[in-house]
């Protein structure tokens, strides 16, 4: 059974698009690296989409290459060492990704479509139970606004893009063509379905070493 925080998350963003299942390899590899509650979410819900695909649980094994060699190949978190681990655990329909670092909490938020990277402060309580609470609170406090994308008029886009393009598969995202970093516009008419890892690599090639960094 999901805990109280995740049950509350589901009232706002119900399970909508079943994704791949959690395997024994996921449990073996990530026990002790991510909070137990996250593994229980994987086991109960798989790597699925919620709220019609507004939000997704991320498979860190599937994302390993994209994380280490594409998105975060040159990242240096100002509060973490070179050996820090960044484990993707949630993403939006538009490719915004949240990363967890063992013993630290939510460490990094990356939004490749805009080329932005936000370094997070450590969790207030770095005990095992405190980090567990941090993960639960992330989902309990999440709603569609956290995962949506604002257009050029600062209006949320997800519902309109969903109507325009239809539902995502687990390995897809909504993207823009032309891309925003090369002069494209954040309008519904410019959105397309893309294979997520291919598109992440394309966006990363456009960003180069020129991330917009905060935190």
Confidence band (pLDDT; 50, 70, 90) for 163? Answer: very high
Taking residues 20-42, report their average pLDDT: 98
Confidence band (pLDDT; 50, 70, 90) for 1? Answer: low
> 50 and 13 in contact (C-beta within 8 Å)?
yes
- Would you say residue 69 has pLDDT above 70? yes
Average pLDDT, the chain: 97
- Would you say residue 215 has pLDDT above 90? no
Read off φ and ψ for residue 136, nearest 5 degrees. -60, -45
Confidence band (pLDDT; 50, 70, 90) for 52? Answer: very high
Length of the chain: 215
Q: How many domains does the chain have?
A: 1
Confidence band (pLDDT; 50, 70, 90) for 2? Answer: confident
CB neighbours of residue 183 within 10 Å? 7
Q: Strands 116-119 and 212-214, how do they pair?
A: parallel
pLDDT at residue 32 in the model: 98
- Per-residue CA distances from 116 to 17, 97, 110, 113 (Å): 27, 11, 6, 8
> 101 and 134 in contact (C-beta within 8 Å)?
no
Q: Which domain holds residue 92?
A: 4-214
- Would you say residue 209 has pLDDT above 90? no
Question: What are the E-state strand segments in the chain?
Answer: 15-17, 49-50, 55-57, 87-92, 97-101, 105-111, 116-119, 172-176, 191-195, 212-214
pTM > 0.95 = yes
Query: Which residues 6+ apart lie within 8 Å of 184 measured at CB?
Result: 176, 177, 178, 190
Taking residues 165-174, report their average pLDDT: 98
Cα–Cα distance measured from residue 33 to residue 101, given in angstroms and rounded to the nearest whole number: 8
- Residue 199 burial class via C-beta count within 10 angstroms: exposed 0-12, middle 13-18, buried 19 and up: buried
- Which pLDDT tens digit goes with each residue over 177-189? 999 999 999 999 9
């Amino acid at each position: 059974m999901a805990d109280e925080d995740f049950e509350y998350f589901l009232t706002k963003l119900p399970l909508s698009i079943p994704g791949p299942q959690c395997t024994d390899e996921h449990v073996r590899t990530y026990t002790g690296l991510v909070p137990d509650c996250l593994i229980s979410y994987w086991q109960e819900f798989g790597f699925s989409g919620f709220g019609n695909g507004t939000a997704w649980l991320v498979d860190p094994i599937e994302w390993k290459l994209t994380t280490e060699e594409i998105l975060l190949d040159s990242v240096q978190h100002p509060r973490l060492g070179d050996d820090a681990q960044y484990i993707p655990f949630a993403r939006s329909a538009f490719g915004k990704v949240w990363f967890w670092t063992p013993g630290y909490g939510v460490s990094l938020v990356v939004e490749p479509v805009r080329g932005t990277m936000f370094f997070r402060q450590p969790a207030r309580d770095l005990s095992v139970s405190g980090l567990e609470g941090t993960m639960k609170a992330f989902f309990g406090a999440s709603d569609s606004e956290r995962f949506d994308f604002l257009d050029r008029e600062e209006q949320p886009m997800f519902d309109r893009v969903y109507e325009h393009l239809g539902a995502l598969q687990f390995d897809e995202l909504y993207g823009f063509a032309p891309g925003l970093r090369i002069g494209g516009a954040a309008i519904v008419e410019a959105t397309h379905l893309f294979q997520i890892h291919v598109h992440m690599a394309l966006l990363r090639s456009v960003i180069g070493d020129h991330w917009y960094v905060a935190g």
